[in-house]
Structure 1
Amino acid sequence: LINLIKQNHPQYVLVVAPGPGEIEEAKSFNIKIALSNNLPLNFFELASLIKKSHLVIANDTGPAHMAAHLGARGFTLFGPHTTPEKVSIEREKFIALQTMDLKSLLADRVYALIKSSIIN
């Protein structure tokens, strides 16, 4: 998904905000990594980054819920463990995409669903 967005929308700066234990993996994405003194962002720093973002794409984690409730535009990816309705994450500008098998969810499919939001 990162590669598709980079290819088709080079005007945007892509940023990943890794959590504890995710920093090394984040380096492999070859995009900007949001850290604070080489550590994951704290709650307030993450909220600030989210508020400044054009679009947030996240899996069903705390940052996705923060983005939804901060009024950010974006998408979250849900697997079968719960539903977007159950956790009240969807908002006017924040949409949940659910699949029964996240491993089979192809980047092309996600990109097709979100590309109009990237442009606007």
Structure 2
Amino acid sequence: MSGAASYLARRAAQKERVRILYRRALKDTLNWAVHRHLFYPDADALRERFDANKNVEDIETIDRMIADGESQYNKWRHPDPYIVPWAPGGSKFTRNPEPPAGIEIVYNYGREDH
């Protein structure tokens, strides 16, 4: 029983690694092809590459293919990926941060108290 459990655990880990690799590669494809009409053919080609190997059953072959895919992904990653402007690392992230504690901001816009 222990052999079957370890086999299933390893297969589950492999499936998770493939899922993560596919999602990362798909998101990185969008960095290379800015417009959707350019992105869709690239996304289809990526999906075909993953689907071509979905029936492989040998665990060692799958591990080798995942390692090759991850190394290829790291080799061809976009050097300047798109970051959503308000996300960490984006151009608008903390553009207007909260004032530090102890500083009072008075919004009277030049009107004097009488």
Q: Identify the TM-score tier after normalising by the shorter chain.
A: under 0.3
More helix by share: 2
Of the two structures, which has the highest relative contact order with CA contacts closer than 8 Å and spacing of 6 or more? 2
Larger Rg: 2
State the TM-score, normalizing by the size of structure 1: 0.22
